[in-house]
Structure 1
Amino acid sequence: MTFSIVAANADRSEFGVAVASKFLAAGSVVPAARAGVGAIATQAWANTAYKSDGLALLTNGANAQEMVDTLTKLDGQREQRQIGVVDAHGTSATYTGKECTDWAGGVAGDGYAIQGNILEGSRVIALMEEAWLGSDPREPLARRLLEALAAGDRAGGDKRGRQSAALFVVGDEGGYGGGDDVIVDLRVDDHPTPIPELARLLTIHELLFGKPNPADLMPLSGPLAEEVRSLLGAQGYIAGDVTTAELDRVLATWAGVENLEERLVPGRLDPVLLDHLRRLSKAEADA
């Protein structure tokens, strides 16, 4: 009833799962991941205990295949289960029980495992793998996972139809505010086109929570400072003194309202913030 991809990025600093299904809120059931440990997808007649138990096994040194073997050996309903896993070293494994509803199966390679059941056919998995292997390893892991998921959807995906999709990514550098390891946790629980909707949410997430690229940061001075002051003024945020300190203060107030505080760097400006300010001003001018 589900298709998913579990994968790690090239340097194993991020792990994640993308999943879609004709099932309400598949994202609440299927994915689990922990930075420095790995990622798991449990599906078909999903055994949700595989998530915590699997992560515990990986944390204690089991590799991907050993985790799958241990969990399924102890499970009397293993023939109705499906699992995909990638461990901290990028070793992967996929398992499909003999009683999973056709078409069901999976494929695993270096740093990824792809699996599905009740699918239109094996082509769903094949095209997901092709999309994953053809994607740029320098892209964010969340984007690569979503591209693979979309490829499976275009190939027919779950043969019963569409309902939910989810994206879960963890990483060494942590998520919002650095308080945990969750980089992306997005779910579309009930929607006629869940994967395009998930893509829309990821674009918003990247704007709000993406970290600025140090190489792209611009000094907040000169003509740029004047433009920012003017743009902030158009939004009702008055910066009376065009000093870096004053602009930092007013920009931080504006960014906090817009939920863009993760992109602030004192004395510098993220081009993403500038583009957003310009779009807001243009939209108001056109209204």
Structure 2
Amino acid sequence: MTFSLVARCADTGMFGMAVSSSSPAVAARCAYVRAGVGAVASQNITDPTLGPLMLDLMERGMSAEEAIAEIQQTSQFMEYRQVLAVDVRGGTAIHSGPKSLGIWTQAQAQDIASGGNLLANDGVPQAIVDGFLSATGHIGDRLIAAMRAGRAAGGEAGPVHSAGMKIVDKVAWPVADLRCDWTEDCPIESIATAWEVYKPQLKAYIQRAIDPREAPSYGVPGDD
């Protein structure tokens, strides 16, 4: 019911994750990122504990591949799960259990991993990888380009209704966490529109948290 990617920007060290699904509020269950550590997608018949567990393992020094191997050995019902990971060195790993739903497949390269289930065809994850690698600019722009490429390649077999994008940088919290929990229109385009609005303000929100004395004005009525 989902297609997604996890990615690292080799230039900045930022991590990001983007996802879309026919199910509601997909990002609430599937998107996990941690600054200086990595990004994880936990999907298919989702176990939300796997994302934080994977990030904990990588924070302790495991590579994405080692962390995937660990949860394959220690977590239950992995035949139903699909888990994607990218680590601090840009290494990627994917677990797709044989009981993943419908057409399911995966693709990966340095700094990028993609997977999906109940797909329209088995070329969607590779299209997402290619879309990310061919895009330039901010990792948020590249995540949007990749998701659009996945949708253009067929996306999910049925209509998607929710999407999300989460990005971390050097601070402890996500510097962007954009979600469309349900729409009858295209949720990927809803996220893309939100990103266009949010991107120019991203640094200001970080600065307001670190030291509001040096922050720019809020740009709202009543702000002097």
TM-score in same-fold range (> 0.5)? yes
Higher RCO structure, 1 or 2 (CA under 8 Å, sep 6+): 2
* Structure with max Cα Rg: 1
Map of 1:48 onto structure 2: 48
1:135-182 Cα deviation digits (max 9, x unpaired): 12xx1101101110111112221112111000000011x3xxxxx331
Map of 2:181 onto structure 1: 189
Structure 1 alignment gaps of length 5 or more: 175-179, 212-251, 262-287
1:181-210 Cα deviation digits (max 9, x unpaired): 311100000012101111110011013324
- TM value normalised by structure 2: 0.89
Contact (CA 8 Å) 1:79, 1:97: kept in 2 or not?
Answer: yes
Map of 2:38 onto structure 1: 38
Q: For residues 18 and 89 of structure 2, what CA distance do their matches in structure 1 show?
A: 19
Does 2:91 correspond to 1:91? yes
Alignment of 1:13-92 (within 5 A): 13-92=13-92
Q: Please report how far the alpha carbon of residue 12 of structure 1 lies from its aligned counterpart in structure 2 after TM superposition.
A: 5.3
Q: For residues 54 and 76 of structure 1, what CA distance do their matches in structure 2 show?
A: 14
**Alpha-carbon spacing, 1:37–1:197, altered in 2? closer, same or farther (3 Å):** same
Determine what percentage of the aligned residue pairs are the same residue: 28
- TM value normalised by structure 1: 0.70
Alignment of 1:1-287 (within 5 A): 1-11=1-11, 13-136=13-136, 139-172=137-170, 174=171, 180-192=172-184, 193-210=186-203, 255-258=217-220
**Count of paired positions:** 210
Q: For residues 92 and 129 of structure 2, what CA distance do their matches in structure 1 show?
A: 14
- Structure 1 stretches of 4+ with a deviation exceeding 4 A read none
Map of 2:210 onto structure 1: none
Contact (CA 8 Å) 2:109, 2:129: kept in 1 or not?
Answer: no
RMSD across aligned positions (CA): 1.6
Q: For residues 16 and 107 of structure 1, what CA distance do their matches in structure 2 show?
A: 17
Contact (CA 8 Å) 1:12, 1:89: kept in 2 or not?
Answer: no
SS in 1 for 2:10: coil
Contact (CA 8 Å) 2:3, 2:116: kept in 1 or not?
Answer: yes
